[in-house]
Chain A
């Protein structure tokens, strides 16, 4: 196993040039998620427009996997219907928790397929999921407010 298969180009690229990494104010929900084992932190703002995910913006510090995965998530889920966003999220989580068994469907999870290799490293699964879990949390808080 070499580093290239874990750290795909897409991951390093998103890490260097993260998308939506600037909080838009006045969200319907703001959440902070911590990875207590390494001190990483993601703050995520969610804006909804009816049933549409209007903006996902975020700030935070962390490793390349957590930063890139949050960037991919914010890009992929913005502009989606809420239920569609949730089903993409479930597909992504399934791949990341597959212990290397699933490659993921690019049609559904887009650049998320680059993280399939992460699923072989139990210590990194949390990194790959932190932004996605923050979104899920923000969404349930946002829906509760509606």
Chain B
């Protein structure tokens, strides 16, 4: 079928699809927004690191240390090329949450005359659709510095309302931190337009790319941003490794966040100077095997092709939107038109609570997420206590969507059928 990848072949790369769910049923995994599955070559890369090259990177004077360092740094270059950047601009972290906290804590460690220093009255701008990971670090930074946190609102159809962007991103604004794609709504935000507004007032622009980097080509030069965060585990990589990308000149001006071994230049009993980025931000023995696994993940994604992944997901999105909207009582929470929209579908079902719907789908081997999706403020704005969310990836196909649809119908039948027995 046009635009579609050969999912049957792709699934063979992912060992988890060999298992069955709830008494022998096929696994229908619609929760890749939370975490993706891992192809065998990623697992093999981690195992190979431990079995054949394990050693502390950047430290030993021996062959294993040399090999480990080479693999670790090769993974860094792989990530750098993937984002169209340079190895000196890639910091390995634990996950995107840590990447964003690294920024917020480094900024509050900065000295009075640094460009990262926030004063009372300065502004940090986020959006109402942020994941808690790109909200709370900024709330806390504002609380530590006396800066003011403001946000771009969300419209009822799940888009950013940019009508007052120039008064929100004003001359006081020092930081603009925004998600590329909403993990709840699927909305892909118009980053270039917001970057332009940030540039106008000289603010730093930080992109939460957790839900974009795994799904389509993200080019930091083209977007003209300053920092970007993503998690390896949502991009077929291992858990325990994330990335902070930052412009080299900014990273090298920033204060460290975590301090200790490997991040220093010179040390006396009473003071220390720090290494250049990225080492400055990688204190201690790093997550070596995980970084190597992430490098393998990106090679794998490149092998399939980000353009192909994107086209596949566009086809699935069209199919899913049509099918979901045909179900009576189902309401999509998020954009219903195709433009600038990823394959993430939050919805509510009349008279069925998301937890009950999620449970009913699970009985059919269908994995979805229910709840507030770490975006509680957004749920309040949209006035829904919780939603059910199906989030797709390139190993999903039309049959997965068909299974979801019939699962929803079954649940509807079960929960809303007239009941026979009277209460005693």
The proximity string for A residues 4-25 relative to B, scoring 1 for CB distances below 8 Å and 0 otherwise, is 0011011011101100000000
Asked if A109 is at the interface of the complex by the 8 Å CB criterion, the answer is no
Asked if A38 is at the interface of the complex by the 8 Å CB criterion, the answer is yes
Q: How far is the CA of A1 from the CA of B303 in the complex (A)?
A: 40
Cβ of B370: which chain A residues have Cβ within 8 Å of it? 38
Asked if B244 is at the interface of the complex by the 8 Å CB criterion, the answer is no
Q: Which of the 9-residue segments B105-113, B219-227, B353-361 touches chain A? A: B353-361
Tell whether, in the assembled complex, residue B372 and residue A13 are in contact, meaning their CB atoms are under 8 Å apart. Answer: no
Tell whether, in the assembled complex, residue B363 and residue A3 are in contact, meaning their CB atoms are under 8 Å apart. Answer: yes
Of the residues A3, A14, A37, A65, contact of B360 by C-beta under 8 Å: A3
Tell whether, in the assembled complex, residue A2 and residue B415 are in contact, meaning their CB atoms are under 8 Å apart. Answer: no
Asked if A62 is at the interface of the complex by the 8 Å CB criterion, the answer is yes
Cβ of A124: which chain B residues have Cβ within 8 Å of it? 355, 359
Across chains A and B, the number of contacting residue pairs, with CB separation under 8 Å, is 59
Q: Of residues 33 to 69 in A, which have CB atoms within 8 Å of B's CB atoms?
A: 37-41, 61-66
Tell whether, in the assembled complex, residue A12 and residue B419 are in contact, meaning their CB atoms are under 8 Å apart. Answer: yes
Cβ of B385: which chain A residues have Cβ within 8 Å of it? 38-41, 61
Determine how close the nearest CB of chain A comes to the CB of B373; give it in whole angstroms: 10
Asked if B414 is at the interface of the complex by the 8 Å CB criterion, the answer is yes
Of the residues A3, A39, A63, contact of B414 by C-beta under 8 Å: A3
Cβ of B386: which chain A residues have Cβ within 8 Å of it? 38-40
Of the residues B354, B415, B421, contact of A38 by C-beta under 8 Å: B354
Q: How far is the CA of A2 from the CA of B359 in the complex (A)?
A: 11
Q: How far is the CA of A61 from the CA of B22 in the complex (A)?
A: 29
Cβ of B356: which chain A residues have Cβ within 8 Å of it? 7, 63-65
Select from chain B the residue with minimum beta-carbon distance to A60: B385
Q: How far is the CA of A40 from the CA of B370 in the complex (A)?
A: 11
Tell whether, in the assembled complex, residue A38 and residue B355 are in contact, meaning their CB atoms are under 8 Å apart. Answer: yes
Q: Of residues 342 to 391 in B, which have CB atoms within 8 Å of A's CB atoms?
A: 353-356, 359-360, 363, 370-372, 376, 379, 385-386
Of A38, A39, A65, most buried by chain B (CB within 10 Å of CB) is A39
Tell whether, in the assembled complex, residue A9 and residue B421 are in contact, meaning their CB atoms are under 8 Å apart. Answer: yes
Asked if B51 is at the interface of the complex by the 8 Å CB criterion, the answer is no
Q: How far is the CA of A81 from the CA of B149 in the complex (A)?
A: 51
Q: How far is the CA of A62 from the CA of B386 in the complex (A)?
A: 9
Q: Of residues 51 to 109 in B, which have CB atoms within 8 Å of A's CB atoms?
A: none
Asked if B339 is at the interface of the complex by the 8 Å CB criterion, the answer is no
Q: How far is the CA of A71 from the CA of B41 in the complex (A)?
A: 51
Q: How far is the CA of A6 from the CA of B419 in the complex (A)?
A: 16
Q: How far is the CA of A80 from the CA of B372 in the complex (A)?
A: 37
Given A1-B363, A63-B356, A121-B359, do A38 and B372 touch, yes or no (CB 8 Å)?
yes
Q: Of residues 63 to 100 in A, which have CB atoms within 8 Å of B's CB atoms?
A: 63-66
Cβ of B419: which chain A residues have Cβ within 8 Å of it? 9, 12-13, 16
Cβ of B19: which chain A residues have Cβ within 8 Å of it? none
Q: How far is the CA of A12 from the CA of B22 in the complex (A)?
A: 23
Tell whether, in the assembled complex, residue B372 and residue A39 are in contact, meaning their CB atoms are under 8 Å apart. Answer: yes
Cβ of A127: which chain B residues have Cβ within 8 Å of it? 355
Cβ of B363: which chain A residues have Cβ within 8 Å of it? 1-3
Select from chain A the residue with minimum beta-carbon distance to B410: A3
Q: How far is the CA of A9 from the CA of B385 in the complex (A)?
A: 25
Q: How far is the CA of A36 from the CA of B23 in the complex (A)?
A: 30
Cβ of A6: which chain B residues have Cβ within 8 Å of it? 359
Determine how close the nearest CB of chain A comes to the CB of B370; give it in whole angstroms: 6
Determine how close the nearest CB of chain B comes to the CB of A33; give it in whole angstroms: 14
Cβ of A66: which chain B residues have Cβ within 8 Å of it? 355
Residues of B within 8 A of A (CB): 22-23, 353-356, 359-360, 363, 370-372, 376, 379, 385-386, 414-415, 419-421, 423
Which 4 A-B residue pairings sit nearest by Cβ, starting from the closest? A63-B355, A63-B353, A38-B371, A39-B372
Q: List 20 A-B contacts (CB under 8 A).
A: A1-B22, A1-B363, A6-B359, A7-B356, A9-B420, A13-B419, A13-B423, A17-B423, A38-B354, A38-B386, A39-B371, A39-B379, A39-B386, A40-B355, A63-B354, A64-B356, A65-B355, A66-B355, A124-B359, A127-B355
Given A1-B22, A1-B363, A63-B356, output 8 extra A-B contacts at Cβ < 8 Å. Answer: A7-B414, A7-B415, A38-B372, A38-B385, A40-B355, A63-B355, A64-B356, A66-B355
